[in-house]
């Protein structure tokens, strides 16, 4: 059954399921960050901030992923401003993350997310219990890569920002373009996009998460999957479903307004809500 409105009965069911959980796995996709104000498909505000990108065919954040930039200067001018806003600035609407943290603080909790914006860390979740599967904007890597090292992005961003021409979207000083400290080659954000992705910084997260999961499935485990659609369903969406399908003591809560249906046969152990996370979490937090 797919719930499309927040009846008092549904809210109470969600409250009880969360409150009774001994272990909670939060599986979060782009929809949760969109509710916090980082909507990668929004274009009007994006083009007000970056009007010069319309002429090269970038109309929203999502278009920048894998985009072949005309120049390295324009590429790094964009990424510097993008990280300044989405990584180092305050999220416009932090409430969904805050509600989620408060609702699940009582449980032995892990976060499993494809979002690279570090919002879970920034809004109070334990950094030691977050697996950022797709990497993080906080790190840069060699584009080749020549090694398995990564470097903090903030110092590079701080050098880039004063050198951006806001009329053209280009750098006025090309010497600040990030270069690999090891080989002098081009750098890129340390986010997954192909075989060049430097995985090593996240191997400890993965190992710790897998150890926790082996323990959690033997207890009262609740999987709360939010905003994970079909751009990369194998990263968050399908693994969350598979955990519930494989282990009969596990319950799944899916919050997804556009793609609520489950793929695996979970039956009554799945509570599916086809609404935005901000509305659902607010209602549950208020009742809880």
Tens digit of each residue's pLDDT (9 = 90 or more) over 165-198:
999 999 999 999 999 999 999 999 999 999 999 9
* Cα 240 to chain centroid, rounded: 15
CB 187 within 8 A of CB 141: yes
Residue 234 CB-density burial (10 A; 0-12 exposed, 13-18 middle, 19+ buried): exposed
**Cβ neighbours of residue 284 under 8 Å, at least 6 residues apart?**
11, 14, 15, 18, 99, 103
What six digits make up the tokens of 263?
């793929």
| pLDDT, mean of residues 146-150 | 97
- Please check the confidence at residue 114 and state whether its pLDDT lies above 70: yes
Burial of 79-106, coded b for 16+ CB within 10 Å and e otherwise, reads bbbbbbbbbeeebeebbbbebbbebbee
Q: Is 108 exposed, middle or buried (0-12, 13-18, 19+ CB in 10 A)?
A: middle
DSSP tag of 186: B
High-pLDDT (> 70) share of the chain, %:
100
pLDDT band (50, 70, 90) for residue 288 = low
What is the distance between the alpha carbons of residues 5 and 27, in angstroms, rounded to a whole number?
22
Please count the other Cβ atoms lying within 10 Å of the Cβ belonging to residue 204.
Answer: 11
pLDDT tens sequence across 205-223: 999 999 999 999 999 999 9
Average pLDDT over residues 127-138: 98
Tokens in use for 149? 């090292």
């Amino acid at each position: 059954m797919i719930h499309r409105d927040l009846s008092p009965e549904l809210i109470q069911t969600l409250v009880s399921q969360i409150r009774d959980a001994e272990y909670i796995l939060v599986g979060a996709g782009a929809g949760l960050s969109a509710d916090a104000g980082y909507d990668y498909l929004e274009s009007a505000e994006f083009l007000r901030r970056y009007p010069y990108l319309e002429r090269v065919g970038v109309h929203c954040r999502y278009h920048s992923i894998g985009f072949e930039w005309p120049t390295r200067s324009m590429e790094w001018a964009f990424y510097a401003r993008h990280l300044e806003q989405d990584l180092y600035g305050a999220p416009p609407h932090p409430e969904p993350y805050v509600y989620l943290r408060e609702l699940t603080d009582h449980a032995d909790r892990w976060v499993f997310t494809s979002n690279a914006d570090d919002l879970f860390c920034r809004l109070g979740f334990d950094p030691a219990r977050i697996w950022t599967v797709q990497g993080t904007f906080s790190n840069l890597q060699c584009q080749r890569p020549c090694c398995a090292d990564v470097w903090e992005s903030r110092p590079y961003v701080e050098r880039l920002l004063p050198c951006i021409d806001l009329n053209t979207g280009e750098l006025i000083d090309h010497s600040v373009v990030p270069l690999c400290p090891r080989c002098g080659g081009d750098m890129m954000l340390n986010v997954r996009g192909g075989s060049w992705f430097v995985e090593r910084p996240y191997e400890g997260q993965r190992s710790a998460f897998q150890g926790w999961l082996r323990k959690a499935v033997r207890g009262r485990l609740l999987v709360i999957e939010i905003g994970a659609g079909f751009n990369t369903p194998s990263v968050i969406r399908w693994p969350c479903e598979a955990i519930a399908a494989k282990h009969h003591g596990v319950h799944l809560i899916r919050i997804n307004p556009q793609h609520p249906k489950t793929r695996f046969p979970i039956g009554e152990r799945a509570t599916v809500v086809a609404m935005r996370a901000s509305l659902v979490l607010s209602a549950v937090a208020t009742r809880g």
